[in-house]
Structure 1
Amino acid sequence: AIVYCYHGFIPLDMYFFHEAVYRYTRRLPMTLVADFVFKIPLLGYLVRLCGGHPASHRAAREQLGRGGIVILAPGGVREGMTATTEDYALRWFGRKGFAELAERAAV
């Protein structure tokens, strides 16, 4: 399964959701995170502890191939940095890769 989330400025709700999915399903989801986050010493460590994984199509395909759950925010950092009155409205900014991935994986 792929779960698409809104990327707020500090997307704590994604991590709470990650935990809720695990508690409910007992399946550890993979939350895809921008690569630069892992270059920030303490933040990268904490994100990994919370189930974050560097974002890539390959990692998502492998997780889905194992019947896993992938959590991602297609709007990414750009969505998180642009304030809007439309809270929780997904803005993909032309990104379609993960929609295509979902279609190919039939999830």
Structure 2
Amino acid sequence: MDKIPDKGAALIVYYHGAIPIDYYYFLANVIIQKGRTCHSVADHFLFKIPGFKLLLEVFSVMHGPQEECVQALKNGHLLGISPGGVREALFSDETYPLLWGKRKGFAQVAIDSKVAIIPMFTQNVREGFRSLGTLRFFRWLYETFRLPVAPVYGGFPVKFRTFLGDPIPYDPNVTASELAEKVNRAVQSLIDKHQRIPGNVLRALLERFHTKYKAE
């Protein structure tokens, strides 16, 4: 948590698990340890669920227009975003591929706000919950109708460890595309360092009883 500033803005960019329960715990830790709230960007479909819009607003969740994100950062808030979003949540798997495509809006937000980007990854997040999105039918539904209906299963009490990388400082000479690639490499580096590939539920469960890290 020492990577999170005690005050001032920063953009946290994280890998999106099938259910981002790790991110929820991260938000709680920011409140408890830093005494700060972290705004978040969520997919548009969540705001269409009856009764969810008010709940999301209470927890400082926005649907992600760049202007709104920039304003939140310029106001000195922390902001969390997953460039992979729903696609990464549903269609990534135990090999932990980053499914960001050519998205660079988050990088442009950081440039416009002149803030640092902090990469984040949680070990075993795919072993806690898994998605059947790798089945062709569910992928077709999403790509054709934007219906995120791939079943998710799990709730396995595996050992989660969340790692924050070194902040990537604002650089006025870097383009959004270059910065997006740099952040992609930073998150991938955290995955390579801390996650055994492919992930394994049994191994992740056993990690509750010992503390050997992959990096060791």
TM-score normalised to the size of structure 1? 0.83
- 1:82 paired with 2:85, answer no
- Judged with a 3 Å threshold, the aligned counterparts in structure 2 of structure 1 residues 83 and 98 are, in CA distance, closer, same or farther, namely closer
Change (3 A) 1:75 1:23: same
Task: Pick one of 102, 112, 124 that aligns with 1:104.
Answer: 112
Contact 2:92 2:98 in 1 (8 A): no
Structure 2, gaps ≥5 residues long = 1-9, 116-216
Two-structure CA RMSD over aligned residues (Å):
1.9
- In structure 1, the partner of 2:72 is 63
Which one-letter code corresponds to 1:67 in the other structure? G
The answer to whether 1:95 aligns with 2:103 is yes
In 2, distance between residues paired with 1:71 and 1:62?
A: 14
Do the aligned residues in 2 keep the contact of 1:10 with 1:80 (CA within 8 Å)?
yes
- Alpha-carbon distance in 2 for matches of 1:22, 1:106: 24
**2-side partners of 1:27 and 1:57: how far apart?**
22
Mapping of residues 1-107 of structure 1, within 5 Å: 1-87=10-96, 89-107=97-115
Per-residue CA deviation, residues 48-103 of structure 1 (Å, 9 max, x unaligned), is: 4444222221221111111110001011111111032333x543111011112212
CA distance in 1, matches of 2:21, 2:35: 20
Higher CA-based Rg: 2
**1:42 CA drift (Å):** 4.5
Determine the C-alpha separation between the residues in 1 that align with 2:55 and 2:34: 23
SS of the equivalent of 1:86 reads: coil
Question: 1:46 & 1:9 partners in 2: Cα distance?
Answer: 21
Higher helix share: 1
* Amino acid corresponding to residue 37 of structure 2 in structure 1: L
